[in-house]
Amino acid sequence: MSSTYPEGDPRRALAGSVPGLAAHGGARAASVFDLNRERPDDVLLRGSRCWAVRAQNFAVCLIDLVAGETLGPQGQDNEHLVLVSAGTVRITDVNNATVEVTAPSVVIVPPGGCALAAGSDGRVILISETEDETRPPMARNARDYITVDPLIASRGPRAASRVPGLRVHSMDEVADDPDRLGRIVRSSSLMVNWFPDQIKPRDGEMLSPHAHDDFEQCTITLAGTFAHHLRTPWTSRMSQWRADDHPRVDSPSITIIPPPLVHTTQGVEGDLFQLVDVFSPPRQDFLDQGWVLNADDYVTDLSQ
């Protein structure tokens, strides 16, 4: 975990410090949205409900679909992701290629966006770069990003895809591997980790509190009741200190955790627990470990 020292303290040069955290006003608080308790941002023609939340580099739109609902292309200039977490959805890209997708699946959509048609009641999560989206200004936490957070690294260069067209990654086809963290899929600029289903609460004696120095984590809960355990690192200014926080959420929920908040998430109630984490840019540490299922589909394009 990172430490922060005030101006003039020689320990600021030590590895692991976060320079200027106090000067930036300290760490931002997490944004926690328990969607069952919040009005949707939009209701579509057949009654499908939509909630929009953003981070600095990406936007998330969770849609509880009603059978027969359709959604037209959103016109993203870059690849984006569609997560199908319940039901069956037909996805058509701008080249009229169509796939029928059953949950649980991650779909990588090529530039141009896609149309969705719900074959049944279900749920999808659309994840795009913020610059590709019309939703971020309307997101329920848009005010958090009126000014750029200097602690968050920029998206950086996109990776170029070696594989064209729509690509479907069925999570049910990914074998469990105790040496691999979760089920991680990337696009040119996004990454999701869809954890395997759990059927009992997480042992409170085996949690994993940690912090990220320069990127946000978006955690989406899809089934079960969870507690987010959050700790704000101290700076040299006591006025920036906060008490530990342990918000409890049902599913679905979306939580944005800014750097360098210490955090861990615990399933606490229910008989099924489903959780997805989102990052942008893709995490190099996950790539270096060989945990990314489709890593070979991409090559970094340093010209961008």
The partner residues of 124 in beta bridges, in order of sequence, read 63, 84
- Stronger pLDDT, 8 or 76, i.e. the higher one: 76
pLDDT band with cut points at 50, 70 and 90 for residue 1: very low
Q: Of 19-23, 148-152, 179-183, which range is least confident? A: 19-23
Which residue from 154, 157, 210 is spatially nearest to 181, judged by alpha carbons? 210
pLDDT at residue number 302: 46
Compute how many other C-beta atoms are within 10 angstroms of the C-beta atom of residue 18: 21
pLDDT at residue number 155: 92
Give the E-state strand segments of the chain in sequence order: 31-34, 42-43, 49-54, 58-65, 70-71, 80-86, 88-93, 98-102, 105-109, 114-118, 122-129, 159-161, 167-170, 184-186, 191-194, 217-231, 248-249, 253-257, 262-279, 298-300
pLDDT digits (tens, 9 = 90+) for 261-293: 999 999 999 999 999 999 999 999 999 999 999
Over 50: is that where the pLDDT of 303 sits?
Answer: no
Q: What is the mean pLDDT of residues 140-161?
A: 93
In CATH, what number does 20-153+183-291 get? 2.60.120.10
Using a pLDDT cut of 90, give the percent of the chain over it.
84
In sequence order, which residues have a C-beta less than 8 Å from that of residue 159 and are 6 or more positions away? 186, 188, 189, 282, 298, 299, 300, 301
pLDDT digits (tens, 9 = 90+) for 101-129: 999 999 999 999 999 999 999 999 999 99
CB 59 within 8 A of CB 137: no
Domain coordinates in residue numbering, the chain: 20-153+183-291
Average pLDDT of the chain? Answer: 91
Q: DSSP label at 286?
A: H
Residue 285: φ, ψ to 5°: -65, -35
